[in-house]
Amino acid sequence: MKANGTQGRIAGLFTGSSLYLISNIANAMVPFLLLPLLTRYLAPEEYGLVSIFQALTTGLLAFVGLNTVGAAVRHYYDVDSKAQLASYVGGCFKILAISALAVLGVMLVLRKPAVDLAGLPSEWLLLSVLASAGLFAVNMRLGLWQVQGKALAFGSLQVSLGVLNAAITLILVIPFGLGAEGRMAAILLAPLLLGCISIVLLRNDGLLDLRRSGPEMKEALAFGVPLAPHVLGLFLLSAGDRFVINSILGAESVGIYMVAMQISLGIGLVFDAFNKAFVPWLFARLKKDEQALRQQIVAITYSCFGGAFLLAGGLVFAGPILVYLLAGKDYHSALDYLGILAFGQAFHGLYLMVTNYAFYARKTGLLSLVTMLSGVLGIVLLWLVVPVWGLQGAAMAYLATMATRFLLTWGLAQYCHPMPWFTFRNNS
């Protein structure tokens, strides 16, 4: 009976993971399906500018909302009633409003240096803040569905975001011929529209109460603010290369590099899907603090480690076909960097598996330090190698940085919550 119970728990994990994987794949197919279109309607320089705007909208999440989505998700496990959670979520949305206005103010004051760094018109810099606010609302709805184990609802909203983004892109880029601006408008409008819908869904589910949230705001900030360096570090890791490449080589090189990155992201998406199911499963078992469950967790994690590198190797072999099918002729040189970026994505997948322990132990400050150090390392490497080796150097810097971040985070995970990583005997 015990064995059957264990098998059932594992089966439940993989059932949830499958739903997340399906939604992630469906959502990931959208930019993949758009890639042949965009690389044929947009010049590499235009595609590079679009990539920078997209990176900016996600990077600003370090400051727009101050990472309080993670606070609400973690608080779910501590509350005794839906009303308490609703008040907490309400506090997070008040923080969103205040922080968004503050970021807009900073953008207005620093408009010229921001324009010089990003290479984007000032109006699009300001609009990126609104896009980030919309993403915050969507992520809040997705995060609470995730911890509730509602993978189907999660996937429906996630896929809707991608589909709406694609639909607006197709309309604005092809019949209206708006080029890069049409694509950026889609990146803005999709999260804004679905952000509003997410707020309505939260209210309808009794998970958003804006009336009383003073103490909750303080608690959410105590969780989220220490994560700001972490999220900023993630931004430097995932998007800092675009800004450095743009500064040294120009937007055209950004466009070619991002085609290779876009194709390699498939590996990260697979692991992100698995991790969304893995997190509630993992937290529930860490809470029980049983040796047999720890051994089971380690075994599953090591299997995922091996899967990451198998996926990277497979992408290397499939790379020529994918590049020639998905990218226009002006982007075929992206193949030169795909293999290196694929293994960088493999290390990103490994990182996702071990970072959960720091979140469970609420050691967000230490996690922020590791991520920020990794992000700074990545930027330094980029500035050193891109002038010498160009985009090849950028790809190698990405791989080195991802590997370093994983190893540091794994060490932090063991410090936060010791696991039998090197004890292979099952004492159950």
For residue range 178-202, list pLDDT tens digits in order.
999 999 999 999 999 999 999 999 9
Give the position of tokens 């994990």: 13
CA distances from 141 to 163, 231, 286, 288, 336 (A): 18, 19, 25, 28, 39
Q: Tens digit of pLDDT for each residue in 215-261?
A: 788 888 888 887 777 778 878 888 899 999 998 999 999 999 999 99
Exposed, middle or buried, 195 (CB in 10 Å: 0-12/13-18/19+)? buried
Q: Tens digit of pLDDT for each residue in 27-42?
A: 767 777 888 889 999 9
Average pLDDT over residues 47-68: 90
pLDDT of residue 2: 43
List, in order, residues 6 or more apart from 128 with CB less than 8 Å away. 53, 56, 57, 60, 188
pLDDT at residue 91 tops 80: yes
pLDDT of residue 21: 67
Q: Tens digit of pLDDT for each residue in 381-408?
A: 999 999 999 999 999 999 999 999 999 9
List, in order, residues 6 or more apart from 379 with CB less than 8 Å away. 236, 240, 244
Chain mean pLDDT for the chain: 87
Structure token pair of residue 314: 């497979």
pLDDT at residue 12 tops 80: no
Q: Tens digit of pLDDT for each residue in 62-85?
A: 899 998 998 898 888 787 788 889
pLDDT of residue 27: 73
The region of weakest confidence among 11-25, 86-100, 268-282, 316-330 is 11-25
Average pLDDT over residues 129-135: 96
Exposed, middle or buried, 288 (CB in 10 Å: 0-12/13-18/19+)? exposed
Cα distance between residue 353 and residue 51, in whole Å: 27
pLDDT at residue 149 tops 60: yes
113 — pLDDT class (breaks 50, 70, 90): confident
Q: What percent of the chain has pLDDT over 70?
A: 93
213 — pLDDT class (breaks 50, 70, 90): low
pLDDT at residue 348 tops 50: yes
pLDDT of residue 148: 86
Q: Tens digit of pLDDT for each residue in 284-311?
A: 888 887 888 888 889 888 988 999 999 9
pLDDT of residue 272: 80
> What phi and psi values does residue 290 have, to the nearest 5 degrees?
-110, 135
User: Which candidate, 40, 38, 52, 36, places its Cα nearest to that of 250?
Assistant: 52
Exposed, middle or buried, 364 (CB in 10 Å: 0-12/13-18/19+)? buried
pLDDT of residue 1: 39
pTM attached to this predicted model: 0.81
Cβ 51 vs Cβ 209: under 8 Å: no
If one counts every other C-beta atom within 10 angstroms of the C-beta of residue 206, the result is 11
pLDDT of residue 392: 96
DSSP helix, strand, coil percent of the chain (3-state; round to 5): 85, 0, 15
